[in-house]
């Protein structure tokens, strides 16, 4: 493993475990037995190092998603919703580096989102948005009962499910008392796709009900509020 690769690997592990703010560039270099000159030569700064981690780790995910999406949309039969969802989720949950690599990158993303929200949004937009927008466009062709806003909301919640599945896999093991094995990535993928498909196929939320609820919360003359006074 080259010095830049070693620095990237150690930095990713330390950021994922300890958070971004708690880890200094010097502590990373001590852990991988490299000098500060090497870090500045290859990366320049801690932010540049983080950007490079995103670039390196996102590339195979995005490439695999594009390949799987092409395979399921250019076949002899029309893709099912499950086909498209698996093409999106599989590369993130099951990586060439193994389950631990996938979980580590997701924990890093969660830490950065919490500590450096603006930087996180910039990195995700840079390395994932184009591919994600392509998937959303395909989903829209399969979900004509939903408005564009509905699809964006539901996709937002599905991303949360993906993040949590990778960032905190031990939670389901504790809740199920060991009946659900978070290390079984294929089972996790199968369940996530089934959950996501059901969520996307559900009827659109009632706008009338939402509007009535907002009115009851903001209008003092609304009958429900009068009855409480």
Q: Is the pLDDT of residue 8 over 70?
A: yes
> Domain boundaries in the chain?
58-204
Q: Identify the pLDDT of residue 225.
A: 43
Q: Identify the pLDDT of residue 78.
A: 86
Q: Identify the pLDDT of residue 137.
A: 95
Quote the CA–CA distance of 12 and 65 in Å, as a whole number. Answer: 22
Quote the CA–CA distance of 177 and 163 in Å, as a whole number. Answer: 22
Quote the CA–CA distance of 194 and 52 in Å, as a whole number. Answer: 34
Q: Which of 56-60, 103-107, 153-157 shows the lowest mean pLDDT across its residues?
A: 103-107
Q: Identify the pLDDT of residue 208.
A: 55
With left for phi above 0 and alpha for psi between -120 and 50, is residue 35 left, alpha or beta? beta
Q: Is 77 helix (H, G, I), strand (E, B) or coil?
A: coil
How large is the average pLDDT for residues 133-162?
95
Angle between helices 81-93 and 99-115 (to 10 degrees): 90
Task: Tell me what percent of the residues of the chain surpass a pLDDT of 70.
Answer: 88
Instruction: For the domain made up of 58-204, give the CATH fold.
Output: Tetracycline Repressor; domain 2 (1.10.357)
Q: Identify the pLDDT of residue 211.
A: 60
The pLDDT tens digits of the residues spanning 187-220 come to 999 999 999 999 999 999 876 565 656 655 666 5
The pLDDT confidence band at residue 228, using thresholds 50, 70 and 90, is very low
CA 229 vs CA 29, 218, 219: distances in Å: 64, 14, 13
């Amino acid at each position: 493993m080259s010095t830049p690769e070693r620095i990237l690997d150690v930095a990713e592990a330390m950021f994922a475990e300890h958070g971004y703010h708690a880890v200094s560039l010097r502590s990373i270099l001590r852990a991988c037995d490299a000098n500060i000159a090497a870090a500045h030569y290859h990366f320049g700064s801690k932010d540049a190092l983080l950007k490079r981690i995103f670039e390196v780790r996102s590339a195979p995910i995005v490439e695999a998603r594009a390949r799987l999406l092409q395979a399921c949309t250019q076949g002899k039969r029309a893709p099912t919703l499950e086909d498209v969802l698996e093409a999106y989720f599989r590369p993130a949950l099951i990586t060439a580096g193994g389950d631990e690599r996938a979980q580590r990158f997701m924990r890093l993303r969660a830490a950065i989102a919490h500590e450096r929200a603006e930087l996180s949004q910039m990195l995700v937009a840079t390395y994932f948005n184009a591919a994600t927008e392509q998937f959303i466009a395909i989903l829209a062709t399969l979900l004509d009962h939903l408005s564009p806003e509905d699809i964006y909301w539901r996709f937002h919640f599905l991303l949360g499910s993906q993040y949590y599945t990778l960032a905190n896999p031990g939670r389901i093991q504790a809740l199920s008392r060991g009946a659900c094995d978070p290390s079984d990535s294929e089972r996790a993928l199968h369940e996530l796709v089934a959950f996501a498909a059901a969520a996307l196929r559900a009827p659109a939320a009632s706008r009338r009900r939402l509007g009535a609820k907002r009115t009851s919360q903001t209008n003092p003359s609304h009958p429900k509020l009068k009855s409480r006074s």
